[in-house]
Amino acid sequence: KDDFVSSVSHEFRTPLTSILGYVELLLEDDPGDDQLEPLNIIKRNSERLLTLVSDLLASRNGQLIVTPHAVDVAELVRASVSAAMPKADASHVALIAETPANLEAHVDGPRISQVLDNLVSNAIKYSPDGGNVVVSLEHDGGNLACRVSDTGMGMNADDQAQVFAKFFRTSNVRRTAIPGVGLGLPISKAIVEAHGGTIQVESKPGQGTTFTFRVPV
Backbone CA torsion sign across 21, 67, 102, 95: positive
Answer whether residue 203 shows pLDDT above 60: yes
Check whether residue 49 and residue 89 sit in a common domain: no
Check whether residue 112 and residue 193 sit in a common domain: yes
Q: What is the pLDDT of residue 6?
A: 59
Quote the domain boundaries for residue 45: 2-60
Check whether residue 96 and residue 163 sit in a common domain: yes
pLDDT digits (tens, 9 = 90+) for 68-88: 999 999 999 999 999 899 999
What are the residues facing 212 on neighbouring strands?
147, 200
Check whether residue 32 and residue 88 sit in a common domain: no
Residue percentage of the chain with pLDDT more than 70: 85
Check whether residue 126 and residue 197 sit in a common domain: yes
Provide the number of structural domains found in the chain: 2
What are the residues facing 136 on neighbouring strands?
98, 147
Check whether residue 97 and residue 55 sit in a common domain: no
Check whether residue 77 and residue 9 sit in a common domain: no
Tell me the CATH number at 172: 3.30.565.10
Between residues 200 and 65, the one the model is more confident about: 200
Q: What is the pLDDT of residue 61?
A: 57
Answer whether residue 4 shows pLDDT above 90: no
Last residue of a domain, one of 21, 43, 60: 60
Answer whether residue 122 shows pLDDT above 70: yes
Residue percentage of the chain with pLDDT more than 90: 47
Check whether residue 75 and residue 150 sit in a common domain: yes
Check whether residue 37 and residue 135 sit in a common domain: no
Last residue of a domain, one of 60, 80, 105: 60
Between residues 1 and 110, the one the model is more confident about: 110
**Closest to 189 (Cα-Cα) out of 153, 157, 217, 214:** 214
Query: What is the chain's alpha carbon radius of gyration, rounded to the nearest angstrom?
Result: 17
Task: Tell me the whole-structure pTM to 2 decimals.
Answer: 0.76
Residues in the chain: 217
Contact in structure between 127 and 135 (CB atoms under 8 Å):
no
Average pLDDT, the chain: 86
DSSP class per residue in 86-115: HHHHHTT-EEEEE--S--EEEE-HHHHHHH
What are the residues facing 153 on neighbouring strands?
none
Count CA atoms within 13 Å of residue 146 on its CB side.
30
Cα distances (Å, whole numbers) of residue 144 to 66, 99, 108, 115, 117 = 17, 11, 13, 14, 17
Check whether residue 14 and residue 86 sit in a common domain: no
Check whether residue 41 and residue 82 sit in a common domain: no
